[in-house]
Structure 1
Amino acid sequence: MRKPTGLERLYVDFDSFFASAEQHLQPHLRGKPVGVIPVDSEHTGLIAASREAKAKGIKRGTFVRDARRQCPDLVLVTARHELYVDLHKDIIRTIETVVPVKAVCSIDEMLCALLPAEWSRALDIGRRVKEAIAAGIGPTLTCSVGLGPNDLLAKIAAEMEKPDGLVALHPDDLPGRLLSLDLTDIPGIAQGNAARLARAGIADMEALWRLQPKELRRLWGSVEGERLWMGLHGYTVERPETQRRMFGHGRVLPSDWRSLNGAYAAARVLLAKAAARMRRAGFSARTLSLWLTDRNSAGWYGEERFRPTWDDPSLLASLSRLFLHAEREEMHRSRSVHVALHDLVPLGEIEDDLFDHTPEAQLKRRMEYLSTIADRLNGTHRKTLLHWGPWVTIPGGYAGAKIAFNRIPDAEDF
C-alpha cells in the first residue's frame, strides 16, 4: 500500500454528455432545453437533460409527460448511440494530444495518469485538456476535470464544481473540502449504503472520516468498505482484475409488444446480439437465462444448461424451449424481457472431438462456421444482413448496441 504525495491522477467527466452531444451535432439546439429519450414515447424517462433543461428542474429519469409539463419548450431528441460512440473516440484522441488516457471509465469519463515531473503543473495540464477539447471538438461539449492522488479522489474532484469545473484535491489538504460533501456524493455510497451508515450513527463525512478502515469494512460487509476508506484517505487502491461473467441484453417493451409472442420476437434479437458479442470476445456459454417481468416487476425466470455452446441456431433453440416453459406456466404477458449467456468458457479451452463424425456433431460444426460467417458479414456492413429465422426491429432500435454505464458498444454492435 502506497500513499502518494502528489496529484498523480487526472479525471475527465463530461457535463450532460448525451444532451450536450446533440447540441454539438445540431447547432440549432444550442441554448435550448434539450432532453434525450431512449425511444419516441410519452411513457419513457429522459436519459439525459441539457444544462438549460436542468435549470428548469428537469433531471435524468424524469418522465416525458412530467418534463413537458415542467418545461413546455423542451426539445426531445431520440438517442443516437452510434454518433455518441464516434464522438467519444474523437474526444479520446483529443485528450491524448495533451496527456495519455490510462482508462476509459464510461462513455463520458476518462482517467489519466500523470508522471512525477507533471505533478507540480497538474492544474495547468487540466486547463490544457479543457482547452484542447474546446478547440478540437467544440465549445458546446464542456467537461469537468478533477485532480487527486488516486482514482477515487480525482473522480470526486471532477464532480465538485460541475459544470465546466477544475478542482484539485491535494493529499496534503485532506480531508479539507471532502467534509463539505454529502455521503451520497462519494462514488460507491448509494442511498442503501448511506442508510446503513446512518443506522450506525455515521450521518456525515466528518463521522465517516473518523472511522478506522476495519470499522468501515465491517459496516460495509465486505472488503469494499476498507478500499473506500483507503481511497478517501489518499492511498492507492489496487483492485483485482475483473473477469467477464456474462453477456446479456434486456428491453422494456412497448405496450403493443407485451404479449408472449412479442416478448419472444424481441428476445430472439437480443439473444442474437448477445451471442455475437460473446463470440467476438472469444467465449462460449454453458447457460442461457431468460427473465420475463410484469408491471409489478414480478414475473417468470428460467434457465437452460448445456455443453459449451456459441452458435446461434443452438442458442435460439434453447430460447424457444424456455418460452414454451413460460407458456405452460401461464406467463401470457411481459412488460420487459432480458436474456443472458453465462457460465462462460474461453473458446480456446473447449476440447472438440475431431473423430466425432456423428450427424449431430457435424451439424454443430457447420452451425458454428455459419455463425462466424454471419458475424463477419454483419460486422463489415454494420447491419444485420444474415440471421436465423424471423428478424424484427424492436422499437427504440439499438438492440445490443445501447451505451451502458460501464460499456461502450463496438462498431460491430450497431
Structure 2
Amino acid sequence: MSDVFNSRQIIHVDMDAFYASVEQRDDPSLQGRPVVVGGKPDRRGVVSAASYEARQAGIHSAMPLTEAYRRCPKAVFLPVNGKKYWQVSQEIRDVFLTYTPLVEPISIDEAFLDVTDSIRLFGSASEIAREIKERIKNEINLIASIGVASNKFLAKISSDLEKPNGFVVVNPDRVQEFLDPLSVERIWGVGDKMAERLHGLNIHTICELRQIEQDYLTHIFGTWGNQIYALARGIDDRPVVSEKEAKSIGRETTFDDDLADREVLGTILLELACDIAQSLRKEQMKGKTVTLKVRYSDFRTISRSHTLNKATNLEDIIYQEACQLLQEVSLKQAIRLIGITLHHLIRQDEVQLALFDEPEKKRERLVKVIDSIKEKYGDSSITRARLLH
C-alpha cells in the first residue's frame, strides 16, 4: 500500500441488531426477550432483524417468518417501522458528523467514517471511535460495534469480530498478523459457494489464501481472484465517500440464506427504496436513473437500469421501478445479495416540474405532510405498507 492509504484512519460503525434493539429500547418489556422484526408470523414475508435472544434460537435476517416462528414460537413478532428506524439512524449520523463530514452510510444501521483530518481536533482514531460508541449508548441508548483500521475492509472486519458491543482496533503495523488466522469467509464477498470452492482447494484461512499465486486465483475465479488476492493482504484503496459528494446513493443487503422468491425480494426492495428516498430528501437531492443489482450464489453479479423522465426522491417511484427491473432478472438460481442505486443526482431546487405534473407535486406534498405528522404525533401514527402491483 502507498503511504497515502496507510495514513488513512477509518472507523466502521455497525449497530447491533438495530431494528430489534430500537424496539427493545422503546418497550422495556421486550428487553431480554426474543424479538423478530418483519411482520406477523402467519403472513408471507421475511425477518428484517432479530434480537440476539432470537438469534440464539437460530433466527436470522431474510429467513421466512414462518420458519422463524417454527424455531421460536415464543418470540415477539413486530412490524417494520421504517420511519422510526430511519429517524434513529439520523440521530446516530448526527453524532458522526460532529467528528467528520466524511460519513458514508452503507445501510440504515452501518457507516464508514474517515477521521484522518479529525485527529488534530479530537485525538486519535481509537479515541474518536470510543467517544462515538459512548455517545451512542448515553445519548441514544443503543449499542454499536466499532472497528478502527487504515482502510474500509479492515475496519469492516474488525467491527464484526467481537459482536455484540465490540470494539477492535487494527494496528497498521500488524495487519497480516490480524488477518492470517481468520477464516476465508471473513473476506468480503466470500459466501457459502465461494467458501466451498476455496475449501476444495484446501484453503480455509486467510493465511492459506495468501500462499496462493495471484495468476492461479485469477485463473480459477476470474477478476474476483485479483480482489481476494489483494484483500488477503489487507489492501483496499477505496475512499470514504459522503452522500453529499456522491454521484449516486445506493443501499444493498446480503442474505444469510440465498433467496429466489420474488414476493419476498419485493418486500426487501421496499425497505431499500424507503431508506434511499429518505436519504435523498435529507440531502435535498433527486435522482433520475434507478439501478437494480443482483448477486447470485456463485458470485456472478448483474445489474439492470432504467432512466426516469424526471428525477425523483419518492420511495414509491423508486420501489416500483426496482420491482419492474426485478422482473427482468432470472431467479432460476437463488441470489445472495440485492441492492438499489439511484444515479444522476441533482439538487432538488434544480428540478423544474411542468404545470401538468400535478400528480407528482401532490405526492411530494403528501410526503412532507406525512413527515410532519410523524414528527408531531410519533412514528406509529402513519405506516407504509408494501405497494401492490
> Per-residue deviation at 1:51?
1.4
- 3-state SS of the aligned residue for 2:180? helix
> Taking structure 1 as reference, are residues 232 and 341 closer, same or farther at Cα in structure 2, changes over 3 Å only?
closer
Q: Which runs of 5+ in 2 are unaligned?
A: 252-260, 293-303, 328-338, 348-352, 372-382
CA distance in 2, matches of 1:93, 1:240: 17
Q: Is the 8 A contact 2:95 2:135 kept in 1?
A: yes
- 3-state SS of the aligned residue for 2:165? coil
In structure 1, give the amino acid aligned to 2:230: M
Deviations 1:113-144 (Å, cap 9, x if unpaired)?
Answer: 12278398333322211111111101xx2111
Deviations 1:292-348 (Å, cap 9, x if unpaired)?
Answer: xxxxxxxxxxx9x9x974499xxx9xx9xxx9xx9xxxxxxxxxxxxx999988899
> Per-residue deviation at 1:376?
3.0
CA distance in 2, matches of 1:81, 1:38: 12
After the TM superposition, which segments of 4 or more aligned residues of structure 1 sit over 6 Å from their partners? 239-243, 276-280, 340-348
Q: Which residue of 2 aligns with 1:379?
A: 367
Q: Which residue of 2 aligns with 1:133?
A: 136
- 3-state SS of the aligned residue for 2:53? helix
Q: Is the 8 A contact 1:36 1:77 kept in 2?
A: yes
Q: Is the 8 A contact 1:2 1:236 kept in 2?
A: no
CA distance in 1, matches of 2:342, 2:184: 36
Q: Which residue of 2 aligns with 1:233?
A: 233
- 3-state SS of the aligned residue for 1:226? helix
Deviations 1:165-217 (Å, cap 9, x if unpaired)?
Answer: 11112221122232332222222212232234344443332221223445444
Q: Which runs of 5+ in 1 are unaligned?
A: 255-262, 290-302, 327-339, 349-363, 384-394, 401-414
Is 1:15 the equivalent of 2:16?
A: yes
CA-based RMSD of the aligned residues comes to 4.7
Q: Is the 8 A contact 1:283 1:346 kept in 2?
A: yes
CA distance in 1, matches of 2:40, 2:73: 19
In structure 2, give the amino acid aligned to 1:234: G
Structure ID, larger Rg = 1
In the alignment, which of 282, 288, 303 is matched to residue 283 of structure 1?
288
In structure 1, give the amino acid aligned to 2:9: E
Q: Which residue of 2 aligns with 1:46?
A: 47
Work out the number of aligned pairs and report it.
313
Is 1:122 the equivalent of 2:125?
A: yes
> Taking structure 1 as reference, are residues 82 and 156 closer, same or farther at Cα in structure 2, changes over 3 Å only?
same
- 3-state SS of the aligned residue for 1:105? strand
* Equivalent residue runs for 1:6-405 within 5 Å: 8-38=9-39, 41-115=42-116, 118=119, 121-138=124-141, 141-222=142-223, 224-238=224-238, 281-283=286-288, 309-310=309-310, 367=356, 369-382=357-370, 397-399=385-387
CA distance in 2, matches of 1:152, 1:143: 18
CA distance in 2, matches of 1:240, 1:246: 14
- 3-state SS of the aligned residue for 1:13? strand
- 3-state SS of the aligned residue for 1:147? strand
> Per-residue deviation at 1:161?
0.5
CA distance in 2, matches of 1:345, 1:136: 36
In structure 1, give the amino acid aligned to 2:367: G
CA distance in 2, matches of 1:127, 1:343: 33
Q: Is the 8 A contact 2:50 2:59 kept in 1?
A: yes
In structure 2, give the amino acid aligned to 1:184: E
Deviations 1:13-34 (Å, cap 9, x if unpaired)?
Answer: 1111111111122222112111
TM-score, with structure 1 as normaliser: 0.61
Q: Is the 8 A contact 1:37 1:46 kept in 2?
A: yes
In structure 1, give the amino acid aligned to 2:233: H
- 3-state SS of the aligned residue for 1:180? coil
Q: Is the 8 A contact 1:102 1:112 kept in 2?
A: yes
> Taking structure 1 as reference, are residues 158 and 192 closer, same or farther at Cα in structure 2, changes over 3 Å only?
same
CA distance in 1, matches of 2:52, 2:342: 43
TM-score, with structure 2 as normaliser: 0.64
Deviations 1:344-375 (Å, cap 9, x if unpaired)?
Answer: 88899xxxxxxxxxxxxxxx9664x3244234
